[in-house]
Amino acid sequence: MSAWESHESATAARGLEQATADCAAARAAAKKAERKLAEYLDGDRLAQAKAVTADKLADPETLETLNDLSERYAAGERIPTCAGGTETAQATTSTLRSTEKRNAKRLARVRKTVEAVFASRLAHTVEQGERLYSSSEGKVQDEYSRALLRASIDKRDEEAITDAMDKVNASIDAKNKADEERKAQEEAAAAAAQAQEQSTPAPQQYSYMPSGSASGSGSGPTGGGYHSSGGSAGSTGGSASPGWSVPANPDPSQLPGTDPSL
């Protein structure tokens, strides 16, 4: 009987020792999982994801999910200690192992949601880059900026896309400024030409008066000729008009050096 009791006591002691050791290991694993979750919740990667604004995301719900998870998981949960007898230690071990698995799943879920936020931001950036690439055709000062944007979009390099978009926008602004300056210069040149045209006097006009036309009321026929529209009137009854004329029917006897008897 004494030997049996000793055997039972030794067996119980070994059982308690094993249960206590199992509980301690389970508690260490649970604490490690809890620490890893807490470190990630306080880490830079999560902070960067939470800093993304909804207007920069293709799917803003990813950010809402992340904020909800990080808030719920930040409180953590109680990690029980390994105390009591064998059965208590075994029950505690089971609880600790469940806690470890739960915290590991929480960490994986938060990480997945963080990456979903970044993927959503990339998708939005690519979409914006595509729109700018299409709308900027023929509107840039330097076509190289658009080629750089195209290459960045094809590589799905978020940072490169953002930089290239800045270059395209700067090139658009440069072209708009150059176009405005050129337009202003053209308008100034046109205004100067119009002002010069208005200040130049009109050229004097001349008219041809055929032979035999009257120069005035009561006057005889006169020879034809060019007359200035700004000149004075000629022949009897007015001042002589400048020009030349030839008699319509000249009398040979009136010509100088002519003998009327011949």
pLDDT of residue 256: 55
Positive or negative: CA dihedral 254, 258, 259, 262: negative
- Measure the CA–CA gap between 227 and 244, rounded to whole angstroms: 9
Task: Name the nearest CA neighbour of 48 among 69, 75, 66.
Answer: 66
Residue 231: which pLDDT band, with cuts at 50, 70 and 90?
A: very low
Task: Name the nearest CA neighbour of 63 among 126, 123, 115.
Answer: 115
Q: Which helix (H) or strand (E) holds 208?
A: strand 206-209
234, pLDDT greater than 90? no
Report the predicted TM-score, pTM, of the whole model to 2 decimal places: 0.65
163, pLDDT greater than 70? yes
**Residue range 130-148, pLDDT digits in tens:** 999 999 999 999 899 999 9
103, pLDDT greater than 60? yes
pLDDT of residue 233: 38
- Which stretch of 33-47, 92-106, 176-190 has the lowest confidence by average pLDDT? 176-190
